[in-house]
Amino acid sequence: MTAKIAYDDIEIGTELPAQTFPVTRAALVQYAGASGDFNPIHWNEKFAKEVGLPDVIAHGMFTMAEAIRVVTDWAGDPGAVVEYGVRFTKPVVVPNDDQGATVEVSAKVAAKLDDNTVRVDLVATSAGQKVLGMSRAVVRLA
């Protein structure tokens, strides 16, 4: 593993570059195919509404995959991630229009741990709502 960020250069509170990720219906169909999760709540509006959702929602695992990019893009080596966990608190609702939805992800170093690792706490929101809770990653730095 060769993270491009040095442990000694990082302080508690260091902010990682925030990113905004688009989520379109087409992206959800592509993710369904790649992941094998074909639950119709992620692509079929009629079905989603029948089970009480406001509209089609993104796969929680899609949102989880996007959020960690803030960490892997920062660290350089995705293999530097040694732990990653989230709670799915609110769905990302994806309307069938030209825009879709966006997920905004910010992150900062919350703790310096042993073996050159740091804990990064992530915040992911969509339409002003927090969509991931307890979102934390542990990353091994250089």
Partner 1 sequence: MALDQSFVGRTYPPTDPYEVGREKIREFAEAVGDANPAYTDPEAAKALGHSDVIAPPTFVFSITFKAAGQVVQDPQLGLDYSRVVHGDQKFVYVRPVRAGDRLTVTSTIETIKSMAGNDILDVRGEVHDEAGEHVVTAWTKLVARAAEES
Residues found near partner 1 in the complex (CB under 8 A): 1-2, 21, 27, 30-31, 33-37, 60-62, 64-66, 68-69, 72-73, 76-79, 81-88, 134
Angle among Cα 32, 86, 52 to the nearest 5 degrees reads 55
Tokens of 83: 């732990």
56 or 66, CB closer to partner 1?
A: 66
61 or 127, CB closer to partner 1?
A: 61
Q: How far is the CB of 118 from partner 1 (least distance, A)?
A: 15
Closest by CA to 60, choosing from 41, 33, 79, is 41
Q: How far is the CB of 45 from partner 1 (least distance, A)?
A: 18
Q: How far is the CB of 12 from partner 1 (least distance, A)?
A: 22
72 or 106, CB closer to partner 1?
A: 72
Q: In Å, what is the CA distance from 1 to each residue of 68, 82, 125, 127, 141?
A: 17, 11, 30, 36, 9
5 within 8 A of 75, measured Cβ to Cβ: yes
